Structure 1
Amino acid sequence: MLKILRNLKVYKWLVGMVFLLVFIQAMADLFLPTLMADIIDNGVVLGDVPYIWQIGGWMLAVSAFGAAASVAASYFSSKAAMGMGRDVRRQVFTHVEQFSLQEFDEVGTASLITRTTNDITQVQQVVLVMLRMVVSAPIMLVGGLIMAISKDARLSLVIIGAMPVLVVSILFILKKGIPLFTEVQKRLDRLNLVLRENLTGIRVIRAFTREPQEQVRLEKANRELTDVSIRVNKIMAFLMPVMMLVMNLTVVAIIWFGGIRINNGAMQIGDLMAFIQYVMLIMFALVMASMMFIMVPRAAVSANRINEVLAMRPAFQDLGTQTADRERGTLEFEHVTFSYPGAEEPVLSDITFRAKAGETTAIIGGTGSGKSTLINLIPRFYEVSAGSIRVNGVDIRDASQDEIRSKIGFVPQKSILFSGTVADNIRFGKQDAEPYEIEHAATIAQADDFIRSMEDGYDTYVEQGGSNLSGGQKQRLAIARALIRKPDLYIFDDSFSALDFKTDSKLRAALEKETREATVLLIGQRVSSLMDADRIIVLEKGRIAGMGTHEELLRTNKVYREIAESQLSEEEIA
């Protein structure tokens, strides 16, 4: 929690103003009972109406001054707390952007969303309360005790006797409730995960009529969160009644013993009224403190979860500063081996090949052979376990990730589009692209025709995830996004699967001219879409089972021939 609170240093002047204003408000609240005692003893009892008006005026002025300080303190504390929340959210987002896919797999997307939203909100709320209470509660408690003792020291023994009962009750309740706050956040993570899966996978759920089962799954996650939240609130619900009981019994005792002292002439009526007010202020300070005790543990859990993310270091970081342009358009794998953390066996083993500018290298293999993992190593989404990968003649570990990725035009297997216009999505590959560059990339990707057929053309709005476009349209926009960069290395991860054969053929013909000076890496399932490549790499169980042209592999490689025979006719194979 303290690590998060260090972000308030930027707002130290605002925090200082809050503390000063809260101090003024507390002093005003402590002064009012004394004025009330004075107005009763010297005005009401003696029947001095002018004196009542005079002191009453002072009470109004002090109340107005305290209220103004309270409003100003609320404004400045809100500004500091919300500003800190904004800064922490930006800090977390910036830090998470540096993560490799390994860290995303470890923490989970749903948990990262919860930590960036709900957890930071919890911390914001407690900081907002703390800025007001951390000064106000101690001043009210100590100041109230001092003023009460100054009115009647003997009667103050009632307060001193009640406070230990109150403190012990608070500590006992918190001891039972605090461990459950961690569980609440975990259950919230789970609910967020299930809800996110349902919303993103709604088409699949409906296609397989799984709505009833998914409702049960969501209800289970929701019920688990509800159950643990109810348990926490049941425990915390005892806090306020206990405090009110102790407070009311204390007031009754004070009135009882105060009445005896007034009857004996040891105390005035006004002092007893002021004494009761100070007791209420003391108890109110304890109530505020107890509210902090409720909020701080939960916020501490959230703060720990935020700190866990901020403390995580990417599995690898930029160490080198070499420029990745020694041999433009080359890609080399040299004895590359990769294993996922905790895996018993490597996903890829001893992968070695070299691709030069102007060449097309295709990779084919069965499901689980390691094709997608292999291409995820090139932009350094994961770190190789052994061996080296060189782009443009430079080891990807010896150049910055930004520079390596700037040389790559990547089209993932699943076409991801962002909310915005069609032009914005293509421009995602090159932010300063001119309109003619956008149109040229779209034309090469065979997307220009369908874009112009839309009502707003390139200004057509793309919904989140491209939900208002077909699969083939999304793929072509993703290809255009990669083309507009004019990179040294193109990576197409099964990026033509949603295209019909005519569009596929036209696109490949256009790509051949566009990518003559670059290296092209194709990942695919269809032999027909890869057979014209300069080099075909056959993967089987993470190893290279064969390498060569289509004709060579048909003659010499059993694995490739089995794949070809399952897809092509005898005439095509012959």
Structure 2
Amino acid sequence: MIFKAIGRYKLLVTAALLTMLLQVGAALWQPSYMKSILKVMADMTLSTNGKIDKISQYGIALIVVAVVGLIGSVLNTLTAAKLSQAVSADLREQTFRKIQTFSYEDVEKFKADNLVVRMTNDINQIQMLLMMVFQVLIRVPLLFVGAFILSIMTMPKLWWIIVVMVVLIVVVTGISMGRMGPHFAAFQSLMDRINGIAKDNLRGARVVKSFVQEDNQAKAFDKESDELLGHNLAVGYTFSTMIPAFTIISQLAIFGAILLVSTFVTKSASVAADQLGGIMSFVQYMMQIMFAIIMGGMMSMFASRGMVSMGRISEILKTETSMTYATDDVEDLDGSIEFDDVSFAYPNDQQPTLKDISFKLTAGEMVGIVGATGAGKSTLAQLIPRLFDPTSGTVKVGGRDLKSVSQQTLKNTISIVLQKAILFSGTIAGNLKQGKADATSSDMDRAAKIAQAAEFIDRLPERYDAPVEERGNNFSGGQKQRMSITRGVIKSPKILILDDSTSALDAHSEKLVQEAMNRDLNGTTTIIIAQKISSVVHADTILVLDEGRLVAQGTHKELLETSDVYRQIYDTQKAKED
């Protein structure tokens, strides 16, 4: 997954690697010039002839190498940043597009909060990892191997000091990473939970304030936040011991090297100049080796978090959607609907919500669906536009099994208006065009009149260009429902499903909506899910559900005579009205 994304930017990858090599080469080259300068300075105690010129030459060369390394470092940072940003942007877009293909079942499996964290925090972790890989992680082994070889070439007799220092630093790093590993694994799940609490609290701000639940919400958030803080502190405490440990090990190694070199100098004056010049280079190489190991250890932390995030993103991208569509050309279907022995159970539910449902509806009918709360009315309606697939049985529209119909055909044929009116930030026109992308002003006017939304839209100065705030908070519940109905009827679908979508309307407005739909959508199969029988009393057919089963079907008058369940619901509601 990540390698495929990186492969699109071969030029940036090549530039990052070349500038990194330039940076490493300059870093490894500098100590050799320092050795030459110190050796010349040591020889000056015997003679100064020509020595000043040599020091100047070496000094200029050292400055040139340092500048080259600086240029390489700047260019490497720029290319690594650009590469990581580009790849993360591609992954974010690819992940979002993949999520758009998910069915309701897939989204429920991952949970919306979790998906948001994966598209934000996890992508950021991958971006940081890529930045570190092309800026540091690949440089670490090159710097380590180069410095190790050159240090031994500079002071062959002190090779064992390098080995001891490396072993000690690796041991400390391994122990530290082992302690921090479990904490890294807990970070992402805690971020999921914290994000979920924050989102629920903000979305339900009115409920929280109405029931004075601010303290309880704060306590729930603090609990998760404190747990995350605990993991962060544990990682911080481990780091606080790592750096001093590395410093002590490196300083002891430097002390041992200088002590041993001093014995070489006292024993053999003839090699004093060479040894004094070499000790500085040796110490610099030791510091580079230590830096490489320390950075490798620190990068392993980023790598562990990044790998977890890569796995979470890869899980999304590799998930095969549970719902696939036929690839046939777009076709016209009439509004007939047939359920053939349909049963349905939500994921992880033991009991089915719908059981052995069978019925046929002809095109153009007005159909009511009634039943007690939890009878499965909304679930049945959601099977028609194929928001879910039945567990068993077949759902047909226009005589075709929905599984053999293309997605575009289904979209052109069916509109559903949910009870909870969901509007998106933007404008009224932007929301209405979700129902019909090429909707004109006349289309909007027609649909708004049917849904009785023109009554308040025409009073707005901007009309369809009026802004819609987040979740439509600048409109009342009834206005939002009427805009949702407008969005549903704007394309004149063959099948229109109203899932209790007039619950926020007063009786007069609801009656006007139904009369307008009967008049202007007389060729449309209209399915009305309602709690109130008065909303469906004039329907051509009424389906009565009870505990997930279709227990009766007929007109209002027929059901009063033949269905005990329907008559009981009707008598209860009539008694309340009286």
With normalisation by structure 2, the TM-score equals 0.95
Is 1:203 matched up with 2:206?
yes
Is 1:299 matched up with 2:306?
yes
Is 1:229 matched up with 2:254?
no
Give how far 1:168 is off.
1.6
| Corresponding residue of 2:133 | 130
Structure 2 CA distance for aligned equivalents of residues 143 and 492 of structure 1:
72
Structure 1 CA distance for aligned equivalents of residues 176 and 4 of structure 2:
29
Aligned CA distance change for structure 1 residues 435 and 408 (closer, same or farther; 3 Å): same
Give how far 1:241 is off.
2.4
| Corresponding residue of 2:118 | 115
| Corresponding residue of 1:446 | 452
Q: Which residue type is aligned with residue 31 of structure 1?
A: W
Is 1:259 matched up with 2:266?
no
Residue aligned with 1:49, SS: helix
Q: Which residue type is aligned with residue 150 of structure 2?
A: M
Residue aligned with 2:404, SS: coil
Is 1:238 matched up with 2:241?
yes
| Corresponding residue of 1:18 | 16
Structure 2 CA distance for aligned equivalents of residues 430 and 132 of structure 1:
48
Give how far 1:248 is off.
1.8
Give how far 1:494 is off.
0.4
Structure 2 CA distance for aligned equivalents of residues 167 and 421 of structure 1:
59
Aligned CA distance change for structure 1 residues 12 and 564 (closer, same or farther; 3 Å): same
Give how far 1:342 is off.
3.0
Deviates more, 1:8-17 or 1:226-235: 226-235
Is 1:280 matched up with 2:287?
yes
Deviates more, 1:200-209 or 1:529-538: 200-209
Residue aligned with 1:223, SS: helix
Deviates more, 1:252-261 or 1:145-154: 252-261
2:332/2:409 contact within 8 Å kept? no
Aligned CA distance change for structure 1 residues 54 and 200 (closer, same or farther; 3 Å): same
Match of 1:158 among 156, 161, 181: 161
| Corresponding residue of 1:431 | 437
**1:81-140 deviation line (CA, Å, top 9, x unaligned):** 111111111121111111111111111111111111101111110111011223311221
Is 1:560 matched up with 2:569?
no
Structure 1 CA distance for aligned equivalents of residues 514 and 43 of structure 2:
101
Match of 1:507 among 481, 496, 513: 513
Structure 1 CA distance for aligned equivalents of residues 239 and 471 of structure 2:
43
**1:427-472 deviation line (CA, Å, top 9, x unaligned):** 1111111122122211221111211212322211101100111001
Structure 2 CA distance for aligned equivalents of residues 514 and 334 of structure 1:
31
Give how far 1:569 is off.
5.1
Q: Which residue type is aligned with residue 543 of structure 2?
A: I
Give how far 1:525 is off.
0.5
Deviates more, 1:35-44 or 1:527-536: 35-44
| Corresponding residue of 1:289 | 296
| Corresponding residue of 2:318 | 311
2:80/2:134 contact within 8 Å kept? yes
Structure 2 CA distance for aligned equivalents of residues 551 and 198 of structure 1:
47
| Corresponding residue of 1:82 | 85
Match of 1:378 among 352, 359, 384: 384
Residue aligned with 2:551, SS: strand
Aligned CA distance change for structure 1 residues 227 and 237 (closer, same or farther; 3 Å): same
Residue aligned with 2:360, SS: strand
Residue aligned with 1:192, SS: helix
Match of 2:416 among 397, 407, 410: 410
- Number of residue equivalences: 569
Structure 1 CA distance for aligned equivalents of residues 576 and 420 of structure 2:
32
Aligned CA distance change for structure 1 residues 163 and 570 (closer, same or farther; 3 Å): closer
Give how far 1:323 is off.
5.2
Q: Which residue type is aligned with residue 229 of structure 1?
A: N
Give how far 1:9 is off.
1.0
Structure 1 CA distance for aligned equivalents of residues 29 and 330 of structure 2:
71
Structure 2 CA distance for aligned equivalents of residues 319 and 509 of structure 1:
37
Is 1:473 matched up with 2:479?
yes
**1:469-524 deviation line (CA, Å, top 9, x unaligned):** 10011111111111112111101000001111221121111111221111101111
Give how far 1:320 is off.
6.0
The 5 A counterparts of 1:383-402 are 383-402=389-408
| Corresponding residue of 2:353 | 347
Structure 2 CA distance for aligned equivalents of residues 184 and 372 of structure 1:
38
The 5 A counterparts of 1:529-544 are 529-544=535-550
| Corresponding residue of 2:522 | 516
Structure 2 CA distance for aligned equivalents of residues 5 and 537 of structure 1:
54
1:194/1:221 contact within 8 Å kept? no
Is 1:321 matched up with 2:319?
no
Give how far 1:570 is off.
9.8
1:324/1:391 contact within 8 Å kept? no
1:43/1:51 contact within 8 Å kept? no
Match of 1:28 among 26, 29, 48: 26
Q: Which residue type is aligned with residue 224 of structure 2?
A: A
Is 1:271 matched up with 2:274?
no
Structure 1 CA distance for aligned equivalents of residues 216 and 140 of structure 2:
51
Aligned CA distance change for structure 1 residues 134 and 184 (closer, same or farther; 3 Å): closer
Indicate the percent of aligned positions where both proteins have the same amino acid.
Answer: 34
Q: Which residue type is aligned with residue 323 of structure 2?
A: F
Give how far 1:70 is off.
1.0
**1:13-51 deviation line (CA, Å, top 9, x unaligned):** 211111111001111111111112212222575253333
1:325/1:393 contact within 8 Å kept? no
- Alignment gaps of 5+ in structure 1: none
Structure 2 CA distance for aligned equivalents of residues 323 and 59 of structure 1:
71
Residue aligned with 1:545, SS: strand
Q: Which residue type is aligned with residue 293 of structure 1?
A: S
Deviates more, 1:355-364 or 1:396-405: 396-405
Match of 2:492 among 486, 489, 501: 486
Structure 2 CA distance for aligned equivalents of residues 79 and 406 of structure 1:
42
Structure 2 CA distance for aligned equivalents of residues 227 and 140 of structure 1:
35
| Corresponding residue of 2:190 | 187
Structure 1 CA distance for aligned equivalents of residues 179 and 364 of structure 2:
69
Structure 2 CA distance for aligned equivalents of residues 197 and 275 of structure 1:
59
- Alignment gaps of 5+ in structure 2: none
Q: Which residue type is aligned with residue 528 of structure 1?
A: S
Give how far 1:189 is off.
0.8
Q: Which residue type is aligned with residue 9 of structure 1?
A: G
2:326/2:407 contact within 8 Å kept? no
